[in-house]
A and B are shown apart, each in its own frame.
Chain A
Amino acid sequence: MALVDEHAHPHVGHAEGHHEELGFWRKYVFSQDHKVIGIQYGITALLFLFFGFTLMMMMRWAIAFPGKPIPLVGGMFQEMGGVMPPEFYNQLGAMHGTIMVFLGIVPLAVGAFGNYLVPLQIGAPDMAFPKLNMASYWSYFVGGVLMLSSFWMPGGAAQSGWTSYPPLADIAPPGQTMWLIAMLCLIISSLLGSANFIVTIIQLRAPGLTWMRLPFFVWAQFVTSFLLLLAFPPLQAAAVLQFMDRVAHTSFFLPSGLVVSGQQLAVSGGGSPLLWQHLFWFLAHPEVYVLILPAFGIIAEVIANNTRKPLWGYRSLVYAVVFLGFMSFIVWAHHMFMTGMGTAMSTFFQTTTMIISIPSVIVLTALIISLWGASIRYTVPMLFALAFLPMFAIGGLTGLPLGLAPTDIHLHDTYYVIGHFHYVVAPGTIFAMFAGLYYWFPKVTGRKMNDLLGKIHFWLSLVFINGVFMPMFIQGLAGVSRRLYDGGASYSHAQPVLEWNVFMSVSAWLLAVAQVPFIINFFWSMFKGKRVGDNYWDATTLEWSATTSPPLAHGNFAEIPTVVRGPYDYSVPGAPRDFVPQHEKLQEA
């Protein structure tokens, strides 16, 4: 057999010949290039993640040392003698959730990774609608700025939790209105983005790139985009209704005869607080799959590349995520078992919830079996990917008792729930994001990140992140509620497990310290990192094999490649190397 490489030497600069040079603003700020937009999304989202993390670190002080002046930032609360007031704690809680989910992880997973990689992996010159792509980023940016500015509203930022349940949210200070406006901007951003992704994936696939030859990452983004497209509008509607409640004094979510602080509210009444929960969770359950599906995609790419063998059960993985996406729309009421639903409804939602765990297990199983018999390269991205598997498994399995009403009634709104979803999202999704950052860094910059710093970052993060979240299961099973300003200190049943609070808080602060090697590594490698070749990881997918690192500014590819094989042809018997790029023909000798 001999190897015929159709595109051995992509012509650098060939595609740039007939494009006029853009000015600074059009090139870096109001860019329509999906790569620049991806980087913009990435940087903004990382900053928001860091900010959201900072809010949490402040909360952890109030939980671990209730009533003690908070160091460093205590100056903000001079009239309280440096002690954080409970209202401020509530603001931190609501904003931590909102920022992490809507401004941090989704923009990083979809906006940054999706934007940068999807067109490259499908062999497209750009997204289908570059102008909409730019509008999507700037709508996100405006939403983020509004969200942050709400801290300076009278009465502070939103403080009714990231779920903003009425009637509490309906009568909260004006920061809540700002939250709603910011959410509308974010929803518009993700609607524009998701429609763009779907059109791009359906219409712009390179010749020969059939559906079953798509890299799994693209499939994950495809399903994610459908979730964003169809699940977000009900929250948009709900936000409009709550906005009406707050501004035009309607009563969509306010029941008749509502009494607040001993006084009957002067509203017409007749509304339903549960309506908000339906509309909110209609979005927010698919939303948790929006958080995890891109992570699956990244982990699958990293595992295939570092095991040097094809993913086990590629088709099962694809069918599993499609089914997962579909089912995620009909499980939302398992967040509402405590609202007094009828048994018929409860049975239905418990059943769908148990069914939806099946595809998740299929994905996890396929990824674990992919490791079997591999000669694994323990690179930094692979370490994060390997850690993802058990961490996500813990997060997923602890979710099962929450999906069944009898156990959920005990565990509802306790720290157990916090532990569960943080295991899915923090050592789950965020580890996957780190895996992706280390993995595609050479593609974006042409340089690799430092391995030693990466390994330090990985091991410290792994230890401390478990230190933060594992004790939450203990506290939750003991019945300690979430959202308590003093971490449960005033509740007698919480006393035996109270000592974990300091342990968790110290772990959280050490987790922040563990990010220092990453931050140093990130900036240092950007300018001084070791220069590497176009296909540093010897990968098969188009973004590595068919273009340069970083890819060509206009159009990504010197020539659109023609795909001739599936995405993970690693260690093909008889091939000259242990990987065969998707656009390379192996010829019979």
Chain B
Amino acid sequence: MDIPYTVEARPDTGVYNAKLGIWLFLASEVMLFGALFSTYILLRTGAESWPHGRDLGLNVPLATLNTMVLIASSVTVVLSWASLRLNDLKKYRLYMGLTLLCALGFLVIKYFEYMEKFHHGHYPSFNTFFAIYFTLTGLHGLHVLGGIVVNGYLWGPGVKLWHRDPQRFTNRVEVAGLYWHFVDLVWIFLFPVLYLL
């Protein structure tokens, strides 16, 4: 017996299972990052002085570029979903490919940023600012990595599902997209908090 509402929406709730599932997952993610932001606020209010990220050598231009890259990947992933709804698999692959490239680019830029910090002896143990900086960006980076794995699957081998059950595949891309936007959303808050304030 098949599980109902895996593809079509349940009439009284108006959503299919995976969509509700991903929003619940994102709700728990909100609480995870919420706890870390709470940590940041507590450490900052409790500290005698709190350094400005820029004064400690955080690279604002590079981080601004990274923000742009991530925003771009967010728009390409939603465009890839729109392409699927227009039955255009070629464009889907193009946009999803661009998303992956942006995500990889983000990690590469992040890698250079990290290396620059390490080069100056700024490890997480240096002070609480770098501790929270590395923890937040590191955890965010892991989320980016997770997104690359999921989106990479949907770009490559996962496409098989499109030929069997296009609606289900479109749903999958929508759900993966929702996750990816959330990763972008977190960065939108991380960027000013860590680099600009």
**A residues in contact (CB < 8 Å) with B:** 15, 124-126, 128-130, 132, 191, 194-196, 198-199, 202-204, 229-234, 236-238, 240-241, 244, 248-252, 267-268, 270-272, 275, 278-279, 282, 554-557, 560
Contacts and interface: CB of A to CB of B under 8 A. Distances in A.
Contacts of A229: 24, 27-28
B135 A203 contact: no
Given A191-B28, A203-B20, A251-B128, A234 B1 contact: no
State the main secondary structure of chain A at its contact with B: helix
Given A241-B39, A275-B39, A279-B39, 17 more contacts: A128-B3, A128-B17, A191-B25, A195-B21, A234-B35, A236-B35, A237-B36, A244-B134, A250-B125, A250-B131, A250-B134, A251-B128, A251-B131, A252-B128, A272-B43, A278-B42, A556-B1
B85 interface: no
Contacts of A194: 24
A53 B194 CA distance: 47
B135 A244 contact: yes
A401 B130 CA distance: 43
A524 to B, nearest CB: 34
B128 A237 contact: no
B139 interface: yes
A328 to B, nearest CB: 14
Contact of B5 (A204, A278, A555, A556): A204
A255 to B, nearest CB: 9
Interface string B1-44: 11111000010010111101100110111011111101100110
Contacts of B105: none
Given A250-B131, A270-B128, A199 B28 contact: no
Contacts of A199: 17, 20-21, 24
Nearest to A267: B125
Contacts of A230: 27-28, 31
B189 to A, nearest CB: 15
A451 to B, nearest CB: 35
A270 to B, nearest CB: 4
B46 interface: yes
A203 B31 contact: no
A233 B1 contact: no
A391 to B, nearest CB: 33
Could you say which of B1, B5, B17, B39 has the most chain A C-beta atoms within 10 Å of its C-beta? B1
A20 to B, nearest CB: 14
Contact of B21 (A129, A233, A241): A129
B182 to A, nearest CB: 13
B24 A125 contact: no
A233 B32 contact: yes
Nearest to B135: A244
Contacts of A270: 43, 46-47, 127-128
Nearest to B21: A199
B179 to A, nearest CB: 13
Interface of B: 1-5, 10, 13, 15-18, 20-21, 24-25, 27-29, 31-36, 38-39, 42-43, 46-47, 123-128, 131-132, 134-135, 139
Nearest to A235: B35
A194 B20 CA distance: 12
B1 A554 contact: yes
A249 B125 contact: yes
Given A199-B24, A241-B39, A272-B42, A248 B134 contact: yes
Contacts of A130: 3
23 contacts: A129-B17, A129-B21, A198-B24, A199-B20, A202-B13, A203-B10, A203-B13, A232-B28, A236-B35, A237-B32, A248-B131, A249-B125, A250-B134, A250-B135, A251-B131, A271-B128, A272-B42, A272-B43, A279-B39, A555-B1, A556-B1, A557-B1, A560-B1
Nearest to B31: A233
A555 B4 CA distance: 11
Contacts of A556: 1
What 6 A-B pairs come out closest when comparing CB atoms?
A555-B1, A237-B35, A250-B131, A233-B32, A233-B31, A234-B35
B135 A241 contact: yes
A196 B33 CA distance: 21
Contacts of B10: 203
A124 B17 CA distance: 13
A466 B43 CA distance: 45
B139 A250 contact: no
Contacts of A560: 1
Contact of A125 (B2, B16, B33, B34): B2
Contacts of A240: 36, 135, 139
A252 B17 contact: no
B27 A279 contact: no
B26 to A, nearest CB: 10
B24 A252 contact: no
Nearest to B15: A203
B34 A195 contact: no
A352 B32 CA distance: 24
A206 B124 CA distance: 52
Given A199-B21, A230-B27, A233-B31, A268 B135 contact: no
Given A233-B28, A554-B1, A268 B34 contact: no
A248 B125 contact: yes
Contact of B126 (A202, A244, A268): A268
B114 to A, nearest CB: 13
B121 to A, nearest CB: 12
